[in-house]
């Protein structure tokens, strides 16, 4: 029994070191938790998308939008990372993935994250509405 304890300890330390390296590496695609919404909340998210986002963005993959990139599958995607869409240098200069927390901060005050962007969107102050919109974008995305 005494001989197995050092081996177990070394394996535990190695496992923990590996976990720490994964968490601190922003270059790995993050796991994005799915927002759970009931039907009314999902409908509110769809309505918010329609009135706040749909003039410039689509939820259909590959669909050309008049101004902005499609948002299908945006959660977990690198900012400025949609192939075939040309982003401004202000957006393409960032290097992060869209997690729930980042999207929530963006939707609350986009100009706070990207100061000179050309998106005419002032944000959504209500945190519940932001959660409903994020949940809708996840729900409406197709693999």
**The model's pTM:** 0.75
Q: What is the pLDDT of residues 86-112, one digit of tens each?
A: 888 878 888 889 999 999 999 999 888
Q: What is the pLDDT of residues 44-63, one digit of tens each?
A: 999 999 999 999 899 998 88
SS3 97: strand
pLDDT score of 16: 28
Q: Do the Cβ atoms of 49 and 137 come closer than 8 Å?
A: yes
Three-state helix/strand/coil letters over 2-26: CCHHHHHHHHHHHHHHHHHHHHHCC
Structure tokens given for 139: 């729900």
């Amino acid at each position: 029994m005494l001989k197995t304890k050092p081996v177990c300890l070394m394996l535990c330390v190695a496992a923990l070191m590996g976990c720490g390296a994964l968490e601190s590496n922003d270059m790995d695609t993050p796991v994005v938790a799915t927002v759970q919404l009931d039907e009314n909340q999902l409908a509110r998210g769809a309505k918010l998308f329609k009135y706040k986002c749909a003039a410039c963005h689509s939820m259909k993959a590959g669909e050309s939008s008049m101004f902005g990139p499609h948002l299908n599958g945006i959660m977990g995607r690198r900012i400025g990372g949609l192939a075939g869409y040309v982003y401004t240098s202000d957006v393409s200069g960032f290097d992060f993935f869209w997690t729930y927390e980042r999207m929530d901060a963006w939707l609350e005050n986009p100009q706070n994250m990207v100061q000179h962007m050309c998106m005419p969107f002032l944000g959504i102050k209500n945190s519940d509405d932001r959660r409903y919109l994020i949940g809708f974008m996840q729900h409406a995305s197709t693999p």
